A and B are shown apart, each in its own frame.
Chain A
């Protein structure tokens, strides 16, 4: 059983799973949202749902940056290639996200100068290596990634790189959680808080969820044991009628977050009045734009962006899946028209998207299989 050996402490996993069964009141239904796409990936990869009682449901949250990006933003970013002869740079996750006129990867195949980078600093380097061309970095990600973009912008300003700009699609997780809590069909009992986002923002920003909405929040790591332990901590809070923010991932997440990262974020970015999230609609103060001091490096300030609004393909039910109303396989296109090879919605693109995770792992070997033998 090599698979079992790969896990830290299979015995502890079993104990945690048993404790969950003991704590779960059979007379009620539990709905716990894992906010982070990394957690969604891990939950499917390890088939953790198989270890949970049937009345405990994990709902996949909005914490997958490419999944919540409205399609029009891709078209808008790519428009700079045609209108200004720009070199379009972005992370690998974005390369396969469909726009109305194809994904960045498809546009590259048709001859557009689209380049995948692993770091925003790589995009800046391309700009320094091609002083005669404009280089735009299509920036995306939550607070985990935004400080890296911010530092890259500071560096561009310090070095006086004039042929570089950032098209910011950075979003912040807390307003999205608040929007979910305020939505009329909200039926969640608790939240598994994101791991790596919290290394930057810390635990404090989640306090309102416990205080104002009386819902437990437990920040969790990514291993099977971490996720199961966080569910144990949530069930204990619910049993005791407590609502607190707890940190299961304290070995990586400091309560205060990363202060230098928060400082650089605040010095380069400010909140947009509102931003559109796929599936969730417009959410106020939920995204980051560059401060006026960085206007020279802000693609939106520098170029006339068309403001493209694209509605999702009608048959695709990405929005319902994102809100947890539908399970991935309940979408009409799942596994038929929409596959990881030919994705129609972004949830099928990223390994952190619920649909890609579901299609890749649901029929694979599971943790439950491994520890029952």
Chain B
């Protein structure tokens, strides 16, 4: 429930709400409305239920990934990222 997944911002979507993040070399789309000002490419964030919750450092991101592995929650974290469906419409454009 309190799973927080570290990701690096790759690019912001044109609608201003979404961004593409890189988590362990996997790219997924998240919502960035909870961060002000919006994050910029290269910045690291903690992701929770599809939203960037807070900014963190690159070191802290590496630490958080290791922690998820130590807690046995790394597979669950990747399943969560894979499970986000809300971005399909934006990426698909027309649907």
Choose among B1, B36, B72 the residue with the greatest number of A CB atoms under 10 Å from its CB.
B1
Contact B1 A148 (CB under 8 A): no
Q: Does A151 contact B (CB under 8 A)?
A: yes
Contact A93 B86 (CB under 8 A): no
Asked if A259 meets B1 with Cβ closer than 8 Å, knowing A7-B70, A41-B71, A122-B84, the reply is no
Q: Which size class do A's interface residues fall under? A: 35 or more
Q: Which of B48, B60, B67, B81 contacts A251 (CB 8 A)?
A: B60
Contacting residues, chain B, for A350 (C-beta < 8 A): 1
B27-66 toward A: CB 8 Å interface, digit per residue (1/0)? 0000101111000000000101111011011001001001
Contact A151 B85 (CB under 8 A): no
- Give bound CA distance, A65 to B84, whole Å: 21
Task: Write the nearest CB–CB distance from B76 to chain A, whole angstroms.
Answer: 8
Contacting residues, chain B, for A42 (C-beta < 8 A): 71
Question: Quick one: which of A194-243 are within 8 Å of B by CB?
Answer: 195-197, 199-200, 222-223
- Give bound CA distance, A111 to B66, whole Å: 39
Contact A260 B34 (CB under 8 A): yes
Q: Which of B4, B50, B63, B88 contacts A118 (CB 8 A)?
A: B50
- Give bound CA distance, A125 to B50, whole Å: 13
Stretch at the interface among A139-147, A163-171, A177-185, A307-315: A139-147
Contact A144 B84 (CB under 8 A): no
Q: Does A121 contact B (CB under 8 A)?
A: yes
Interface size on B, residues (CB 8 A): 35
- Give bound CA distance, A128 to B88, whole Å: 12
- Give bound CA distance, A153 to B82, whole Å: 23
- Give bound CA distance, A200 to B80, whole Å: 21
Contact B33 A151 (CB under 8 A): yes
Choose among B17, B35, B67, B89 the residue with the greatest number of A CB atoms under 10 Å from its CB.
B67
Q: Beyond the given A118-B84, A252-B54, A264-B33, could you list 16 further A-B residue pairs with CB under 8 A, ordered by the A residue number?
A: A6-B70, A38-B1, A45-B70, A66-B1, A119-B84, A121-B50, A122-B83, A124-B86, A145-B48, A147-B51, A196-B2, A196-B48, A199-B46, A200-B53, A251-B60, A351-B73
Give B contacts to A, CB under 8 Å. 1-2, 4, 17, 31, 33-36, 46, 48-51, 53-54, 56-57, 60, 63, 66-67, 69-73, 80-81, 83-86, 88-89
